[in-house]
Structure 1
Amino acid sequence: MSEKQIGNRTTKRRGSKVPVAPKGGKIKRFSKFSPAWVVGHSKDAPGYNLELINRIRMGVKKSDWKDLIVKIGHSEKELEHILPASISSMQKRSIYSKETSERIYELAKLYSLGYEVFDSEESFKQWLISPSKSLGDKKPFELLDSSFGFQVVENEIVRIQYNVYS
């Protein structure tokens, strides 16, 4: 277990919460490797991908899903078409299935990449809802209902990152 010196106190890093400041200014602490943490810390830790696989297998907690929704600034209703489960069935569960958990982490990783590539979170969100010629005049957000759609959108973001336009 590693330790980190903060001011005059030492914090333990294993299993610790990572502080993230939302728009309101108060610090919200997301647990390490939760979907909301992934948005701000993509590939930030050793064993990152293996840990995400473990988290998907264990299932995402409802509280972690709610944190992600707040972090990316959407409502459950806006994300309903992306998830393989209905909102009503998700509200009944405390831990989600492997398939639903995988889609949640795909969403978190996509937003992490988008926030990194675009100048602002708002610019990325605007790009997601704007028709793209390279995507057949479809809105990228419309393609996020399948893993293949996530890959197509991710590839487009990487092209933008490297100024390779189709």
Structure 2
Amino acid sequence: MQAYEGISAKKMQELMVATHQEKNFFADILHISPKTLDRYIKEDKKFNPTESEKMLKLEQVYEWGKEVFGDVDTFNRWIIKPAYGLGDRIPKILMQTHGGLTLVEDELIRIAYGALA
């Protein structure tokens, strides 16, 4: 329901702080320009349901990442390197699609429970 109503730009800013990621990371995830993102923030607009759903999924992935790696910064270092369990694909690039976010989340769950093979 939260995604359907739309996530506010302020919520996205909180997520930026929590994930230690720059605006360009979120622009890439949402497939919008950094300039458009700036406008959303300035006007405190709400994101559409699809964009909101991606942000909520990203938030979940980061929760798993913090649990698995102990902190956000270590997780952020992991997402920029090819991951064996993801076919040597780079998690940060996969995270630009909803399906990719799910793949990264699934890999984090496998790591958390020791199911690496």
Shared topology, TM-score over 0.5?
Answer: yes
Please list every run of at least 4 consecutive aligned residues from structure 1 whose deviation after the TM superposition is greater than 4 angstroms: none
Partner residue in 1 for 2:84: 133
Task: Choose which of 59, 84, 89 in structure 1 pairs with 2:36.
Answer: 89
Aligned equivalents of 1:125, 1:90: Cα separation in 2: 21
Aligned equivalents of 2:7, 2:34: Cα separation in 1: 15
Aligned equivalents of 1:165, 1:149: Cα separation in 2: 18
Structure 1 position 145, deviation (Å) = 1.4
Partner residue in 1 for 2:26: 79
Which one has a larger percent helix, Structure 1 or Structure 2? 2
Contact preservation (8 Å) 2:6, 2:46: yes
CA RMSD, Structure 1 to Structure 2 (Å): 1.4
1:107-122 alignment to 2 at 5 Å? 107-122=58-73
- After superposition, the C-alpha distances for 1:8-59 in whole angstroms (9 at most, x for unaligned) are xxxxxxxxxxxxxxxxxxxxxxxxxxxxxxxxxxxxxxxxxxxxxx211111
Aligned-residue sequence identity (percent) comes to 27
Aligned equivalents of 1:151, 1:141: Cα separation in 2: 12
Aligned equivalents of 1:119, 1:92: Cα separation in 2: 34
Partner residue in 1 for 2:75: 124
Paired residue type of 2:71: S
Gapped runs of 5+ residues in structure 2? none
Aligned equivalents of 2:50, 2:38: Cα separation in 1: 16
Aligned equivalents of 1:107, 1:58: Cα separation in 2: 17
Contact preservation (8 Å) 1:114, 1:157: yes
Higher relative contact order (CA 8 A, sep 6+): 2
Partner residue in 2 for 1:161: 112
Q: Aligned pair count?
A: 113
Contact preservation (8 Å) 1:82, 1:146: yes
Partner residue in 2 for 1:98: 49
Contact preservation (8 Å) 2:20, 2:72: no
Structure ID, larger Rg: 1
Secondary structure of 2:28's counterpart equals: coil
1:14-93 alignment to 2 at 5 Å? 54-93=1-40
Task: Choose which of 117, 125, 150 in structure 1 pairs with 2:101.
Answer: 150
Which one has a larger percent strand, Structure 1 or Structure 2? 1
